[in-house]
Structure 1
Amino acid sequence: MPLRSAESARLRRTHLPERASLIGTSVRDADLSLRLDGAGHGLLDTTHFDTVRFPPPAWALPTFGAAAEDGAQAYTAYRGNDEVRRVCAASVSALLGVEVDPGRHLAMSTGTQGGLFSTLSALVDDGDVVALADPEYLFVERMLRFLGAEVVRVPMVDSPDGPQLDLEALGALSGSRGIRLLLSSNPNNPTGAVYTPATVAGIARLAVRDDFLVVVDQLYCRLVYDEAVFTHLAAQPGMFERTVTMLGGSKTESLSGYRVGVVVAGAAVIDAIEQVMAMSCLRAPAYAQHVMTRWLVDDHDFVNDRVLELKAIQKSTVQALLAVPGLRVEPGAGTAYLWPDVSSLGISDVEVARVLQAEAGVVVSPGYQFGPSGAGHFRICYAREEVTWDEALDRMVAALTRVAGSRG
């Protein structure tokens, strides 16, 4: 008698088998075929920041070490250490432009990823309609499918300020179907687009009008270029109690290895998130929490310098990729990602990822991971050591040029 499948039905939903109409297989099987498991497998992995070239601030490790020397710091409240939350609430209040109460409005999470899962688990019921930007961070739809939500994608539309969430489509959806919440990243991952003040105000207007929550991942809100204006949704009229803001230092400040983030929301939402955290992880890593007392406080010059360095690498990366005939790429106003469009090369994003691994020794994130609109795109993180990255770009350009020539 054959063994029953080890995977639950809810886990199998996260494989997104319906995406086969676009890529020929499920998202899970495509990931497996490309060995996209986060390990890199000896290739240059552009799915994340190079934390050797771009290390954390000098104060990160000593702050962690000082906390680790005190065994009394090992256990905290489920929502985080009291003193850490006090300091973070003050700095986050200044960042967002709203008053954040450390006891009621803030929880330390196991990175932004853990914060997202805890938040969605606390807020989403089976069958809830959830609006999700398209494209959007690769794991969000999988989380929502795991929770049994009905995911409806809201497209991005082109504008002089880069891709923006389609407010007309969102308004039609929220007005006709009713939605539990909208989830989007700002700056957008993967496109790097920063939502304009008008877009953020439009989201707020619709959320108030149609009574839905907004979960906004602002992990890259400090990594914006050319004096781009960043508008915080939580500070819009009527939005603090309707907004869940995900923050952290894992990317701009390279604190990803410390696995700690911050969730900011109304008191009732934080209470709900705390219950999920208590069941799933008890608390964010207790010693690592203390690193966040220096985040937003002692890293302003550090972040300014990093933004300048990444802007220079962005410019050279775009110039290099534009040598590929037919490839289209626009620099984003934020993040350290580029979202090249290879659709005119006559090759799928799955094939592009496979070619770049085989011929250039580079791992990229194929567009299918980020939603239906990702077909024909791939995402790269250009936060890399410059000499090695320039050499990798030469190999990538050669591989993609060969493909373009063979399909021409």
Structure 2
Amino acid sequence: MTTTAPRPETDGAPLGSASDRILRTHLPSREAAPGVSVRDADTSLRLDGGGNGLLDTTHFDVVRFPPPPWVKEQMATAIDTGAWAYSPYRGDPEVLTALSAPIGDFLGSPVSGENLALTPGTQGALFTTLAALVNEGDLVLLADPDYLFCERILAFLGARVERIPLTFDTDEPSLDLDLIESFIDQKPKLLLFSHPNNPTGSVYSEAMIARVAELAVEGDFLVMVDELYSRLIYGDGAFHHLRTQPGMAERSITLLGPSKTESMSGFRIGVIVAPETVIQLVEQCLAMTSLRAPAYSQHLLSRWLVDDHDFLRDRVAELDVLRTLTIEKLGAVPGLRLAPQNATAYLFVDVSAFGATDVEIAARLQREARVIVSPGYQFGARGSGHFRICYARDEAEWSAALDLMVTCLTAFAAEAGLTA
């Protein structure tokens, strides 16, 4: 005889109504603008990732900046090898073993295949790792500003989130290390930040990274660092990986992938580098969410970090030219402030002097310049008064779009009484 579990109480909510977990991702504790929720702002600006016929600066233009030439050949080989269609949940063992040496060399810290898991993009890495580790009510420290979906995923999981301010308009950007230290007595589960920072492009000094490691060891908490853009660095400055610091191989979780620098977002492949105990937990979460990273895409990583150095050098040089163009054109707008950093293909534009909300500015840029930008509220409270743009675009198209943006923003500035 079969029995049917009693139907849960719905408190009068209609069938198909949002779960409490989804409602938490609307971030009801803060507003995008006075009287406008984060969710309502996203919806009004059509920030659904689809572009909606406008020039979408929320991501890279992968037509102008396509993947390396070998990707097509490698994907064809993978598709022809039908036995590659399925892999263990955390990734094909041969791929993981082959990746361990180049990833270890890149990070400056030994890595074995047992320290790696492959995920559906670094977005999948972010969600599955946090879901595997974070309990309802756990204290998680999160940089502010930082990647927009971090806060939303943590809200979905019911974590208690405390934002750690990032000062990024200086020559040496830094998280508020004293504030991190002040939370140690409250036993945080995790510190989470991107490096280079998304949205600002900030690259942290060795001293700051070393101090983060010291605090993590002292407070006995994990540190998750999203290093998706760590190959997209301008100039000759050094990049300092957290994993190399004393004690951090045992308590750091590093997210990597070819999505941005190599324009491989469409292949949905990311990499987690973490202690073996964490990887085992992530594997369980992968099994329940996606079963595995796209199996054929896993084999595209065979040449990543190995023989793509010339491609990377040329890509960074091209983006640097676009970066200069963007700074020069936007720099002509009265009242607009820029603090360009030395990494990513993003510029975080300060328009706080305009006296308008992020929503108003983003909406007007859509109407008058036909451009979608990422409004600053998405990245945290300290992002308000800014917008983020990605300048990895076709040069001629981007130059024309910038002219329209400058015209729109200059009119906005004039209405606010700002002059050159």
Same fold (TM over 0.5): yes
The Cα offsets for residues 65-119 of structure 1, whole Å up to 9 and x where unpaired, read as: 10111111100011101111111111101101111111x1001111000010000
Could you tell me how far apart the structure 2 residues matched to 1:325 and 1:162 are? 26
- Which among 323, 327, 336 is matched to residue 318 of structure 1? 327
Please list every run of at least 4 consecutive aligned residues from structure 1 whose deviation after the TM superposition is greater than 6 angstroms. Answer: none
- Which among 185, 204, 207 is matched to residue 216 of structure 2? 207
Could you tell me how far apart the structure 1 residues matched to 2:169 and 2:147 are? 21
Gaps of 5+ in 1: none
Task: Give the corresponding residue for 2:47.
Answer: 36
One-letter code of the match for 1:407? Answer: A
One-letter code of the match for 1:36? Answer: L
The Cα offsets for residues 123-159 of structure 1, whole Å up to 9 and x where unpaired, read as: 1000000000000000010000000100100001257
The Cα offsets for residues 346-404 of structure 1, whole Å up to 9 and x where unpaired, read as: 11111110010000000000000000001100000000001000000000000011011
- Which among 26, 37, 42 is matched to residue 15 of structure 1? 26
The Cα offsets for residues 307-362 of structure 1, whole Å up to 9 and x where unpaired, read as: 11111111110110011100001211100000000000111111110010000000
Task: Give the corresponding residue for 1:24.
Answer: 35
- Which among 159, 169, 186 is matched to residue 195 of structure 2? 186
Residues 32, 377 of structure 2: 8 Å contact kept: no
Secondary structure of 1:79's aligned partner:
coil
Task: Give the corresponding residue for 1:369.
Answer: 378
- Which among 111, 124, 142 is matched to residue 132 of structure 1? 142
Match status 1:273 vs 2:250: no
Task: Give the corresponding residue for 2:78.
Answer: 67
- Which among 358, 380, 388 is matched to residue 367 of structure 2? 358
Could you tell me how far apart the structure 2 residues matched to 1:171 and 1:53 are? 44
Query: Using a 3 Å threshold, how does the CA distance of structure 1 residues 234 and 2 change in structure 2: closer, same or farther?
Result: closer
Could you tell me how far apart the structure 2 residues matched to 1:10 and 1:158 are? 32
- Which among 304, 311, 315 is matched to residue 295 of structure 1? 304
Could you tell me how far apart the structure 1 residues matched to 2:32 and 2:328 are? 34
Select between 38-47 and 12-21 the one with higher mean Cα deviation. 12-21
- Which among 174, 188, 212 is matched to residue 164 of structure 1? 174
Could you tell me how far apart the structure 1 residues matched to 2:32 and 2:98 are? 49
Task: Give the corresponding residue for 2:117.
Answer: 107
Could you tell me how far apart the structure 1 residues matched to 2:350 and 2:211 are? 28
Could you tell me how far apart the structure 2 residues matched to 1:232 and 1:24 are? 41
TM-score by length of 1: 0.98
Task: Give the corresponding residue for 2:266.
Answer: 257
Could you tell me how far apart the structure 1 residues matched to 2:150 and 2:328 are? 31
Could you tell me how far apart the structure 2 residues matched to 1:35 and 1:280 are? 26
Q: Which is greater in Rg?
A: 2
Query: Using a 3 Å threshold, how does the CA distance of structure 1 residues 316 and 268 change in structure 2: closer, same or farther?
Result: same
Select between 150-159 and 57-66 the one with higher mean Cα deviation. 150-159
Could you tell me how far apart the structure 1 residues matched to 2:147 and 2:102 are? 26
Secondary structure of 2:30's aligned partner:
helix
- Which among 147, 150, 164 is matched to residue 154 of structure 1? 164
Select between 18-27 and 291-300 the one with higher mean Cα deviation. 18-27
Task: Give the corresponding residue for 1:98.
Answer: 109
Aligned-pair identity in percent equals: 56
- Which among 339, 350, 353 is matched to residue 348 of structure 2? 339
Could you tell me how far apart the structure 1 residues matched to 2:293 and 2:91 are? 7
**1:23 CA drift (Å):** 4.4
Match status 1:219 vs 2:240: no
Select between 88-97 and 150-159 the one with higher mean Cα deviation. 150-159
**1:246 CA drift (Å):** 0.2
**1:176 CA drift (Å):** 3.2
Secondary structure of 1:391's aligned partner:
helix
CA RMSD of aligned residues (A): 1.2
Could you tell me how far apart the structure 2 residues matched to 1:318 and 1:349 are? 20
Task: Give the corresponding residue for 2:6.
Answer: none
Residues 172, 205 of structure 2: 8 Å contact kept: no
Aligned length: 406
Could you tell me how far apart the structure 2 residues matched to 1:307 and 1:164 are? 24
Task: Give the corresponding residue for 1:235.
Answer: 244
Residues 17, 25 of structure 1: 8 Å contact kept: no
Residues 318, 330 of structure 1: 8 Å contact kept: no
Could you tell me how far apart the structure 1 residues matched to 2:414 and 2:319 are? 31
One-letter code of the match for 2:43? Answer: L
Match status 1:123 vs 2:138: no
Residues 177, 212 of structure 2: 8 Å contact kept: yes
One-letter code of the match for 1:70? Answer: T
- Which among 308, 317, 324 is matched to residue 308 of structure 1? 317
